Amino acid sequence: MTKNIAQTDTVRLSDDGNSIEIIDQTKLPGRIHVKSLSRQEDIWHAINILEVRGAPAIGVTAALSMYLAAKNISADQKTNGNPDHMKKERFFTRLEAAKNYLNSSRPTAVNLSWATNRMEKFAIRFFEQNFETDNLTTILKTVDAMKGEALTVWQEDIDTCRAIGEHSLSLVKEGAGLLTHCNAGKLATVRYGTATSVMYLGQEKGYDFKIYCDETRPLLQGARLTAFELASAGLDVTLLCDNMSASLMKTGKIDAVFVGCDRVAANGDTANKIGTSLLALSAKRYGVPFYVCAPTSTIDLNCKTGSDIVIEERSGDEVTNMWFERRIAPENIKVYNPSFDVTDSDLITAIITEKGIINNPSINGVNI
């Protein structure tokens, strides 16, 4: 199924409630394809190979996936003939297994485990507070309630991104030059994006921003996704190679950098797509404010510093031949391909959340 990207949420529950519909980002920008996912294995695969990507979108997908898992488990419970007293234990054991399985798809984005844990805790709490005559009846009520909770997560993402955009807009002037890295846009969330929400809201208010986006090697999310979605929305956007950002800042054309993140540590260090830390270093050198847009669900107070963040290392094929007609590197060459790097908090001007702006996180921390 193909739709206009401006009219399509990145992630949503299907109308019949039996599947998750995502914009398959591996097909962009050549094709806008909305893919339907119902099996846990297919959802795991979609997150792992970046058909759905971006911490907030992954979190929403995870919440919806937990509801679908619970729905399927409860259907089995109705037909498997187990004694009623065993149904509760088996339901929550299988729900926990579904959570752990989904969490293994991508370890760095805290929104994934945040969403699965939230859904599991909600289910346990609801069951205990709403027990009826038997376990199966209560399980079915719990599953219905989980649908509502998953849709709440979905709506919260929309509201959160718009709030981040409003706070970000207070930091820049009309006509500003804005630089972003990777894709923290609509395609990384349900709508608006985190780092790009300021751009979309600025467009609504006629701010006439000049936007620049790094291509973001090796997976080219900036070139394939950010440039595509912003241009499709009619914004003034210019694409550049990652190693051109410092020379662009030196010209004075960049007034602020806005990036997203996958995890914020308690001391304000942030993990984001590889190359972000170099961008922050350049911004520091040329006196350009560097802003990290982070939903509070991305803040992990159990993670003390950036050194505690697990960095996913991906296949070397992404560097050596993924985007080329033939291999560009020698056979059997070793490849270093971390998916993320950590930007130290002293390089960050402010962290912008839906609740407000945290200035100087290296001094103030990220208590919210």
- Domains of the chain plus CATH, in order, are 5-162 (1.20.120.420), 165-364 (3.40.50.10470)
Q: Are strands 263-265 and 34-37 parallel, antiparallel or unpaired?
A: unpaired
Which among 178, 185, 172 is positioned nearest to 248, based on CA atoms?
178
Q: CB-side exposure of 56: number of CA atoms within 13 Å?
A: 35
The whole-number pLDDT of residue 364 equals: 87
Q: In angstroms, how far is CA 55 from the centroid of its own chain?
A: 2
Low-confidence ranges of the chain (pLDDT < 70): 1-4, 6, 109, 368
**The tokens of 318 are what?**
């992404």
Residue pair 318/337 in contact (Cβ under 8 Å)? The answer is: yes
Q: What is the DSSP letter of 106?
A: -
DSSP E strands, 171-289 = 177-180, 210-214, 237-240, 256-259, 263-265, 270-273
Which pLDDT score is estimated for 2? 46
Residue type, 231: A
Give residue 76's pLDDT: 87
Compute the distance between CA of residue 234 and CA of residue 225 in angstroms, rounded to an integer: 14
**Quick one: which of 88, 81, 138 has its CA closest to 146?**
138
* 124 contacts: CB under 8 Å, gap ≥ 6: 92
- pLDDT confidence of residue 1: 45
Which residue, 304, 198, 321, 190, is CA-closest to 259?
198
Three-class DSSP category at 323 = coil
Report pLDDT for 4: 65
- Residue 190: the pLDDT is 95
Residue 338 is classified by DSSP as B
How many alpha carbons fall within 13 Å on the CB side of residue 172?
33
Active site residues: 262
Residue 28 near residue 228, CB atoms below 8 Å: yes
Cβ atoms of residues 311 and 108 within 8 Å: yes
Quick one: pLDDT at residue 79?
A: 78
